[in-house]
Chains A and B, each alone.
Chain A
């Protein structure tokens, strides 16, 4: 009974967020097209360096020289990480801007159902744009991915999802307390752009940066999805990536819920929930 009620809350929040999202068609267009321009600039850059869509050095480092597929898969997985980062940090801040945060908090439902609804709506729109982008990149740039492994890749993505949501919970809590999120989230996005193996393998990074990369769940998600979709590996070969991901799932879900609850309690105690 309780669960079905909370699930209804989640679906209602998803619906509401989607209605809001499509009210700004220019932003919708931006979300649909911009990642293509980012891919394009990386591909043209690669072309300028090696003269074709194949790099011998990348093949030596990663078993695939096809840097277009390598980069596109990296960008697709990282777009979910960015979507969590921006979506969840903005989740409650947006309610604060609209003046609806207090009424949302007063409703007799779990805050996590609301947060989950916001995270899922953001992932849903990202998924739609990812499908559009894969189609366009396949048509325009000749993306070569192993479509047979697509269900396994989705399964792998589902394994990584709880860690993304956990990180999102913690961000929502931090922003609830510190209010202004853009500098913080901009900094984190830029840091992720450097640390995640989106357009290069991890062994290119200086060793001290590599340790930070290994601490990030999206690193394992990118490596795993790439192994399945570009290198044609099987799921059993990726056990070395699945174990840390499952660990991060538990760790980030517990840490995310705890951080959120601590921050929320602090804000309620200080009476700064409505502060702008």
Chain B
């Protein structure tokens, strides 16, 4: 990967400068910033209203049997706030280099005398800062409108686990970034992956609901879901935040998996990105629109 450790400070400067630039560009479109901070509430609200229509309140006995906590509103608020990071990995990191291609600045970036992963980490850093802002705003607004009961004494561990998940998602973002750079038009792929993750991960409903609904096939879908970093993170976070929540996976195991997944996804992401970049350079397709 050609990382020159003597240049670690200049490379860090590249990452910070890239992050600054990305944040500046984002803040130039204040309507989009407001959109991403507020709109997820509009996507969460229909689930909460549906829940109220089906059970007539914010607690469900059956939900309690599955998740240990019957408070499906707080359950969904935690899930949707954390889902902001998945959207950021897909639509932010995944599209980051494609956006440079649209802007006609990709070649200039790739020939600059710095490591391209410093640029990618810079982009990931800015995405994480903005997404954390969106997630906090969403959580605060959703709690204000619908009410959330969480244990705040574990907040330090929550931040730690979220940081781990962000790193693992960076790896997936690198993979997507490379794939999109190769195959260009990403709309359908990203939409599909986004919807699939939303369906198989426990964003609004517990993992056990998948097995209840899909029977034997549900077990395998749950296994696939656990493989994606969002699922173990949600299981840990809900255990930390939601009183009486019963996780489906052993929490120590989930935390260990998250650490391993972070290292594996980051390594695979970087290797795959290197491979794709080399292929595109060989094919001469970097500037191809």
Contacts and interface: CB of A to CB of B under 8 A. Distances in A.
Q: State yes or no: do A and B come from one complex.
A: yes
Contacts of B210: 44
A157 interface: no
A93 to B, nearest CB: 15
B55 A45 contact: no
B198 A41 contact: yes
Interface stretch (B17-25, B45-53, B155-163): B45-53
Interface of A: 24, 26-27, 29-30, 33-34, 37-38, 40-51, 55, 57-58, 60-61, 67, 71, 183, 186-187, 190-191, 193-194, 198-201, 204-205
B32 A38 contact: no
A205 B43 CA distance: 14
Given A44-B210, A57-B54, A205 B188 contact: no
B149 interface: no
Interface residues of B, number: 41
B7 interface: no
Given A41-B198, A194-B42, A204 B205 contact: no
Given A45-B47, A58-B54, A200-B53, 16 more contacts: A33-B192, A40-B199, A42-B50, A47-B205, A48-B67, A48-B209, A49-B51, A49-B62, A57-B53, A67-B54, A183-B35, A186-B35, A193-B43, A194-B46, A200-B52, A205-B49
A47 B51 CA distance: 10
Contact of A51 (B47, B51, B62): B62
Q: List the 3 shortest-distance A-B pairs measured between CB atoms, nearest first.
A: A48-B209, A200-B53, A48-B205
B31 A45 contact: no
Contact of A49 (B42, B49, B54): B54
A43 B199 CA distance: 10
Interface in B56-86: 56, 60, 62-63, 65-67, 72
A48 B62 contact: yes
Given A48-B205, A191-B42, A61 B60 contact: no
A57 B58 CA distance: 13
B224 interface: no
A23 to B, nearest CB: 12
B199 A41 contact: yes
Contacts of B62: 48-51
Contacts of A205: 49
B187 interface: yes
Contacts of B49: 199-200, 204-205
Contacts of A42: 50
Nearest to B52: A204
A224 B32 CA distance: 36
Contact of B195 (A24, A37, A67): A37
B213 interface: yes
Contact of B55 (A24, A30, A55, A183): A55
Nearest to A141: B213
B264 interface: no
Given A47-B209, A48-B66, A49-B55, A30 B192 contact: yes
B39 A58 contact: no
A30 B209 contact: no
Contacts of B129: none
A27 B187 contact: yes
